[in-house]
Chain A
């Protein structure tokens, strides 16, 4: 039997797994950002007619899945599995969405790396022949994350220069085994290790997560023997301005120069004039940027292939208050176009 694993951590999908449909929803601030016009739906305000921000986030997740399904005229019952995760305690947005759609469901958590974790796992399910159609979704909401992880939203606090802005946004994806000429194909994935280099400042997640991202990126190149130039774009999930620079330096120290084609979703989603300081973060950051901005470019042939590395900080408010350092993780996925 041909091995589906290369090197230490990389997964090689032997059967092509294609992303047949995808959708993104973002909040108003993201809608005003440089990528604003590329998202499917922009919320009117941070409540969007719901009674609480938590409800808004849950609806956003549910609606992005509905959009992705509707684009292909599918119903939720056409999915073999639904994999989703978010940042709220006990991933309630995902649980409640699964309750609403009634599809076999696996809740997953990898903080802001959740989307890529879902894509890796969903592809494994399909490649392994355990199903032929899988839904993946992930979301975050600025206000729900602020009040859970930091301060009440109306408290007058100055944000530090290293602070990142949690993206209000969600993305949903439909994966299929589709042997005949799909536009977008997932060919490889890599499951990351938890890395902690002693950063404890919850206001500087980029610096905490950069080593995990760098580790996954270098490990992928080591495992596969590929080079940074082989990709049109290497993009991390939500390292922000500070983490992006650190990640690039760390990867360079390991002997790979990614400076020419490396970017970060958290850097792309906001304009510096929007005063978000170090850029965007959150599950919804990579989830909305991949669906809204990256995949359309692959379909159009502007990008032939990308290496998306989702990054997550695995802390809790309690662990942060107890002074624990922040363990971080990064999973990667290789997405290819067919043009």
Chain B
């Protein structure tokens, strides 16, 4: 009989909640308190109920109460999100984009110059590219060790993250950072904190592509 009462209250509230926009904060608080009361009662009934079927009905009703709680929560969240969005600082999109273009472009120019020099010395193009990447990785690792690469990153954003130097930075920086936790669990385990996902999904995509070509061949 108590259960019926709660059920009725829940139904009634469902109608009220349609007009939640017209409620003031005190009224919303009251609704929240009633929801809490119903919820506690239902948990209590559930703990006492032995019949499987009764338990199920109680649980369904409890889920309905949770839904209503979520609805109130969502309403308050959306209302606040509007306020937050209004006062959110503007992202300097143009400045960031120019910085990314400049930093990314410059890193690639350095790479190209190194590549040109190696090719001029008679190394075939494919090997020359591999050597260039190695040199770039080395430069980035050194700059990371000297504490300079994070400053470049603060300015360049994606411009310093996207080139292979960013990948090297993502491996060297956790290695440095976790040195104090030791060589096995520190450097050893943490070195892939950020680059690990690259290796995982790199393996995945490479095998998918390889198998696809193997099958259609």
Contact of A157 among B84, B154, B180 (CB under 8 A): B154
| A159 partner residues in chain B, CB cutoff 8 A | 154
CB-nearest residue of chain A relative to B81? A198
Set B77, B158, B177: member contacting A198, Cβ < 8 A: B77
- Contact bitstring B152-167, A, C-beta under 8 A = 1, else 0: 1111111011000010
Closest chain A residue, CB of each to CB of B147: A154
Tell me the residues in window 161-210 of chain B with beta carbons closer than 8 Å to chain A beta carbons: 161, 166, 169-170, 172-174, 176-178, 180, 193-194
Do the beta carbons of B173 and A155 come within 8 Å of each other?
yes
Give residues 162-208 of A contacting B (CB, 8 Å): 162, 197-199, 204, 207
* Distance in angstroms between the alpha carbons of A198 and B169 in the assembled complex: 34
Indicate whether B150 reaches chain A with its CB closer than 8 angstroms. yes
Q: How many angstroms from the CA of A152 to the CA of B180 in the assembled complex?
A: 13
Segment at the B interface, from A225-233, A242-250, A265-273: A242-250
Which residues of A138-161 are within 8 A (CB) of B? Answer: 147, 151-161
Nearest to A158 among chain B residues (CB) is B157
Contact A197 to B76, CB < 8 A, known contacts A156-B166, A157-B154:
yes
Q: Is A120 on the interface with B (CB-CB < 8 A)?
A: no
**How many positions in chain B have a CB within 8 Å of any CB in the partner chain?**
43
Report B-chain residues with C-beta under 8 Å of the C-beta of A291. Answer: none
Tell me, yes or no, whether A52 is within 8 Å of chain B by CB: yes
Interface residues on A, range: 20 to 34
Main SS at interface, chain A: loop
A248 CB to closest chain B CB (Å) equals 10
In the assembled complex, which residues on chain A have CB atoms less than 8 Å from the CB atom of B193?
152
A249 surroundings in chain B (CB, below 8 A): 83, 87
- Contacting pair B88 A162 (CB below 8 A): yes
Bound-complex Cα distance A199 to B85 (A)? 11
A278 CB–B CB distance under 8 Å = yes
Residue of A nearest to B172 (CB): A154
Is B132 part of the binding interface, using a Cβ–Cβ cutoff of 8 Å? no
Taking CB atoms, residues of chain B closer than 8 Å to A77 are none
Which residues of B sit under 8 angstroms from A242, Cβ to Cβ?
87-89
Q: Cβ of A260 < 8 Å from any Cβ of B? A: no
Cα-based distance from A211 to B81 in the complex (angstroms): 11
Given contacts A155-B169, A156-B166, A245-B87, contact A51 B177 (CB under 8 A): no
Contact partners of B155 in chain A: CB under 8 A = 158
Q: A246 to chain B: which residues have CB within 8 Å?
A: 83-84, 87
Q: Convert A69-99 into 0s and 1s, putting 1 for each residue whose CB lies closer than 8 angstroms to a CB of B.
A: 0000000000000000000000000000000
The CA-CA distance from A254 to B158 in the complex, in Å, is 42
A154 and B157 within 8 A (CB): no
Closest A-chain residue to B179, C-beta based? A52
Q: Judging by beta carbons under 8 Å apart, are A154 and B83 in contact?
A: no
Q: How far is the CB of A317 from chain B (nearest CB, A)?
A: 12
Are the C-beta atoms of A161 and B89 separated by less than 8 Å? Answer: yes
Q: Is the CB of A152 within 8 A of B177?
A: yes
Distance in angstroms between the alpha carbons of A197 and B90 in the assembled complex:
22
A-side contacts of B74, CB under 8 Å: 198
Contact present for B88 and A156 (CB under 8 Å): no
Q: Is the beta-carbon distance between B152 and A156 smaller than 8 angstroms?
A: yes
Closest to A160 in B: B91
Residue numbers in A under 8 Å from B39 (CB-CB): none
Kindly state the separation between the CA atoms of A158 and B100 in the bound complex, as whole angstroms: 11
Contact between A158 and B96, CB atoms less than 8 A apart: yes
A199 contacts which of B84, B96, B161 (Cβ < 8 Å)? B84
- Residues of chain B lying within 8 A (CB to CB) of residue A160: 91
Nearest 8 pairs of A and B residues by beta carbon: A156-B153, A198-B77, A154-B173, A152-B177, A158-B157, A197-B80, A161-B89, A152-B173
Give B contacts to A, CB under 8 Å.
Answer: 25, 73-74, 76-78, 80-81, 83-84, 87-92, 96, 144, 147, 149-158, 160-161, 166, 169-170, 172-174, 176-178, 180, 193-194
Q: Please give the residue numbers on chain A whose beta carbons come within 8 Å of chain B beta carbons, in ascending order.
A: 51-52, 147, 151-162, 197-199, 204, 207, 211, 241-242, 245-246, 249-250, 254, 278, 325
